[in-house]
Amino acid sequence: MLHGTRIIEFEALGPAPFAGMLLADLGAEVIVVHRKTGGDNPAKQDVTLLDRGKRSIALDLKDAADHGTAHALIRSADGLTEGMRPGVMERLGLGPEQAHALNPALVYGRMTGWGQTGPRARQAAHDLNYLALSGALFYAGQDEPPFVPPTMLGDIGAGAMYLAVGMLAGLLKARQTGQGCVVDAAIVDGASHMMALLLSMGPQFSTHARGQSLLDGPHWSRCYACADGRHISVQCLEPKFYALFLDLLSLSGDAGFARQYDPETWPVLTARLAGLFAAKPLAHWAALFDGTDACVAPVLSPDEARADPHIAAREIWTQGAEGPASAPRFDTHRPTPRPSPTKGQDSAAILQDLKDKGLL
């Protein structure tokens, strides 16, 4: 879908390389500029799954010759992404102003937690902190302290996806006008923006008391422990699904469960359902609800999820593939991501390409 689009990605952590992987999965030529020497993060490997489908060139951006190569890459590109703290790329002489002087049509994507401006812009933080300050963490959990959600919510949902959408919008505009732009993708912005869906549902969905909204309070919107210590998820929001849920549990005639949306009944009904689910193992409940519209599903481990019939039928984890299949899907073709390169694997070919284009 993005064949013919070149993105230069400067090595970073988390959401920025994820966005690059997504763009590469969709057919863009993504050239990741890896550091010639390792960074200061011991958890960062030179090349990871997030580099799949990309080409790699290793540069020392403080070296004059390599800095010139970075300039040539920018002149050759449609877009650029980076995940540094505000000001770092400018100090390297590769900030938006310098880049647009080289390539006015360039879409310059910046991925941070706090954004390029504001009192916290240059402060260190992580996924949980951005979610907390945005208000998105408020509804995580009921009576206990907010739990730590998967990093997908902030880094990927509120970060990488917004960077990717911003890049695509910028690329469309640049092709129409020849004018590039700067995409300021901040996780705190994305997390706040994602709350629009919850807020659009009305005050009953988003009260200012934890454990009392329609998504974090009811007995029909939570996970329950089963007899074997495994867990089952329940979220039968609409009355017709709730009625089916009760019917399958032989609770349709129980007057106590009749007032689905009454907060006063939720604690007692939660305790009753907890006792019910605790009496049988997960396999029993999964079989009972399988194939129904009761909005119930087992909580699976990643390995178990790969073997689930639905996941397997969609070939999300294809045999021999590196990581999950590309998403979303298209009716014209299905992208087949290439493996991750080794660090600097494509340096010679990329340099030759730049020379052939007269950029070096």
pLDDT tens sequence for the chain (360 residues): 999 999 999 999 889 999 999 999 999 999 999 999 765 444 455 568 899 999 999 999 999 999 999 999 999 999 999 999 999 999 999 999 999 999 999 999 999 999 999 999 998 888 888 888 888 887 776 666 676 777 788 999 999 999 999 999 999 999 999 999 999 999 999 999 998 887 787 766 666 667 777 777 899 999 999 999 999 999 999 999 999 999 999 999 999 999 999 989 999 999 999 999 999 999 999 999 999 999 999 999 988 998 899 988 998 887 656 788 888 989 988 878 788 999 999 999 999 999 999 999
pLDDT digits (tens, 9 = 90+) for 244-264: 999 999 999 999 999 999 989
Distance CA 171, CA 98 (A): 19
Look at the alpha carbons of 262, 267, 272, 276 in this order and tell me if their dihedral is positive or negative: positive
- Residue from 67, 65, 82 nearest 31 by CA: 82
In the prediction, which pLDDT does 320 show?
Answer: 56
Residues 6+ apart with CB under 8 A from 96: 89, 108, 110, 182
User: Helix, strand, or coil here: 282?
Assistant: helix
pLDDT digits (tens, 9 = 90+) for 269-306: 999 999 999 999 999 999 999 999 999 999 999 889 98
User: Helix, strand, or coil here: 161?
Assistant: helix
Distance CA 102, CA 66 (A): 16
Query: What are the CA-CA distances from residue 19 to residues 26, 49, 55, 320 (Å)?
Result: 11, 12, 15, 23
Residues 6+ apart with CB under 8 A from 193: 158, 162
Contact 79, 110 (CB under 8 A): no
CB atoms within 10 A of CB 244: 19
In the prediction, which pLDDT does 316 show?
Answer: 87
At which residue do the structure tokens 């208000």 appear?
135
Contact 81, 24 (CB under 8 A): no
Residues annotated as catalytic (active site), given as ranges:
126, 155
In the prediction, which pLDDT does 38 show?
Answer: 60
For residue 241, the number of C-alpha atoms closer than 13 Å in the C-beta half-sphere is 14
In the prediction, which pLDDT does 88 show?
Answer: 95
In the prediction, which pLDDT does 42 show?
Answer: 41
In the prediction, which pLDDT does 128 show?
Answer: 84
